[in-house]
Structure 1
Amino acid sequence: MKVLSLALALGVMSVATASAQTVKICDDEAGWPPYVYNPIENGAANTSKIEGAAVDFMAAVLGDAGIDHTIELLPWKRCLKEVADFGSGGDFEAFSNGSYNEERLKIYYITKPIYETNSGLFYSEAKFPNGLDLKSVDDAKKYKMCGVFGYNYENWNMTNDDLDTSAKTTEQALKKVEAGRCDAVLSSIEPVIGSAAIGKPIVPEGVKAQKFDFMDDLSFHIYIAKSSPRGEKLRDKIDASIDKLRGDGTHEQIFSKYLNF
């Protein structure tokens, strides 16, 4: 009986320890301002700090859900693989600021949206003084489009075969537009414009934004490894807190501090 009681006690302790274990989250080291980025201090990025609207909102959400967490910035493709491989070599249980993607649902649990952005592109004003002639998403395929390696373009109805994704960052892709190597870069509008708001503008002179009015807003989420034994429970707890904090004004209060450009 004592042996059985000890075994039960150890089992309860094990479950409690697992539920209290810190969630390790990764995100893109290239930054996604004003949602996640290393702040610029004395003219250089301070890599010891991570700030942004999504960072603050996730802290509020996870705090409300009673979940301890850490966040670390990695190369984006490595971040996705770390979470996909969680439990068998991957060190991170979740990644943040991931746009909605049906393919990802096969290997990750997806939370409710933590924010939305406007979909669009950035083009050379010198080459296209009146912008690109776009009446539907498919019209974009008439042009030579650039993107970023590892990013999701499902919302634009594009695959990697439809655009040049050799650039490792959005800044590199924008420079291709400036150099005339691409007609435009597909991107959410706010994170690119937001680079200037944190003192690190990445949009070259003469490159302009064009919003896709015919597209729905692009939603961004937290993705949790399906290989995590507590993954589904984490998702459900996070979803409940997202609903609560988007409904009580916390979300608006946090994001209005950063989206003031």
Structure 2
Amino acid sequence: MIRINLYTLLYLVLLISISEPSVAAQDVVKVCGEEYPPYSFSKTDDKGQPTRELTGATVDFFEEASKQSHFDFQITLMPWAGCVASVANYKGEGDFEMFIDATSNSERLAKFLPSDAMYKTQNGLFYSYNKFSEKLSDISIKTLEGKTFCGLLGNNQEWLTKLGIPQHLINYDFTNLSALFKQTRAGYCDFAAYSFEIVMGQVFIKKLALSDDINFVEFPKNNGQANLFYHWVSKSSPSRQQIIEILNRQKVQLEGGAYENIYRRYLPNGSGLQ
């Protein structure tokens, strides 16, 4: 009969534990954003109800970044104002450290550190053939005199006022795209002002049905109102530089086919940066 004393048993346990490959723990980075199809949004179940599982081009990109780095990026979708305020008040572990999918302005640059530009959208005007019998291939400020413009609540309407559109002709009170386009078709709005990529992306992933009479015209022409989108880290984060470097490096490593393929899962024209 073989007897193993206590010291021998402990030695064997220690030997086995040393021989097993160790897996380094990742540093959790809490990330927030709002529901922003086709870049970040909740998957739905068979009944069309949202689940806790997230998807979208931005979500897929961060999943790749987590695989290739020592950071575990964990994204939560929430109301936008609360998200940005949380990152601005970052104090340490457990707090939201960064937010995603946002354009640049002086206020954000003062408080947060941006990544490289990750994708681009183009502002323009959607209109209905019910209102305009011919396709609008080119429009000018003079063409738009007296016309009404509608958009989504909380979206930036400054680009319209900068072009000389009077404030009383702008109505940004709509809470979703379906309602916005319904009223545009009905003639309540002459134009729906919104980003082409966002609308087409939602159509592409079947979150929005767009009727055949709706068309789009780029305005102003020549990419005059292109929006570059970035991901932003709190300047209070001790890891801010590392996080930004990893995201930028991940984009470069995927650049070309692999990077664009992430966005083409949701958008016909990819990131819009090429």
Worse-matched range after superposition: 148-157 or 213-222: 148-157
Q: Which runs of 5+ in 1 are unaligned?
A: 1-18
SS of corresponding position for 1:50: strand
The question of 1:175 aligning with 2:182 is answered: yes
1:62 touches 1:241 (CA, 8 Å); kept in 2? no
Letter in 2 for 1:225: S
Per-residue CA deviations over 1:205-258 (Å, capped at 9, x if unaligned) read 6332223342254222112222333323322332222222225x3202322333
* 79 and 131 in structure 1: CA distance in 2 versus 1, 3 angstrom threshold: farther
* Offset, 1:135: 3.9
Partner of 1:25: 31
SS of corresponding position for 1:166: strand
Partner of 1:255: 263
* 186 and 65 in structure 1: CA distance in 2 versus 1, 3 angstrom threshold: farther
User: Quick one: distance in 2 between partners of 1:227 and 1:62?
Assistant: 21
Partner of 1:241: 250
Letter in 2 for 1:36: S
Partner of 2:109: 105
* 87 and 147 in structure 1: CA distance in 2 versus 1, 3 angstrom threshold: farther
SS of corresponding position for 1:127: coil
SS of corresponding position for 1:105: helix
* Offset, 1:134: 2.5
- Normalised by the length of structure 1, the TM-score is 0.74
* 202 and 27 in structure 1: CA distance in 2 versus 1, 3 angstrom threshold: farther
1:40 touches 1:199 (CA, 8 Å); kept in 2? no
1:135 touches 1:214 (CA, 8 Å); kept in 2? no
Per-residue CA deviations over 1:50-80 (Å, capped at 9, x if unaligned) read 1112211222234334321111111223322
SS of corresponding position for 1:44: coil
* 224 and 165 in structure 1: CA distance in 2 versus 1, 3 angstrom threshold: farther
Letter in 2 for 1:23: V
Structure number with greater Rg is 2
The question of 1:37 aligning with 2:41 is answered: yes
1:40 touches 1:200 (CA, 8 Å); kept in 2? no
SS of corresponding position for 1:165: strand
User: Quick one: distance in 2 between partners of 1:60 and 1:246?
Assistant: 13
* CA root-mean-square deviation: 3.3
> Which of 202, 206, 224 is the aligned partner of 2:233?
224
Per-residue CA deviations over 1:162-217 (Å, capped at 9, x if unaligned) read 43322233334333423433322222212212223223225356332223342254
User: Quick one: distance in 2 between partners of 1:139 and 1:85?
Assistant: 46
Partner of 1:194: 201
2:27 touches 2:70 (CA, 8 Å); kept in 1? no
User: Quick one: distance in 1 between partners of 2:75 and 2:118?
Assistant: 16
- Normalised by the length of structure 2, the TM-score is 0.71
* 42 and 106 in structure 1: CA distance in 2 versus 1, 3 angstrom threshold: same
Q: Which runs of 5+ in 2 are unaligned?
A: 1-24, 270-274
Count of aligned pairs: 238
More helix by share: 1
SS of corresponding position for 1:228: coil
Letter in 2 for 1:220: F
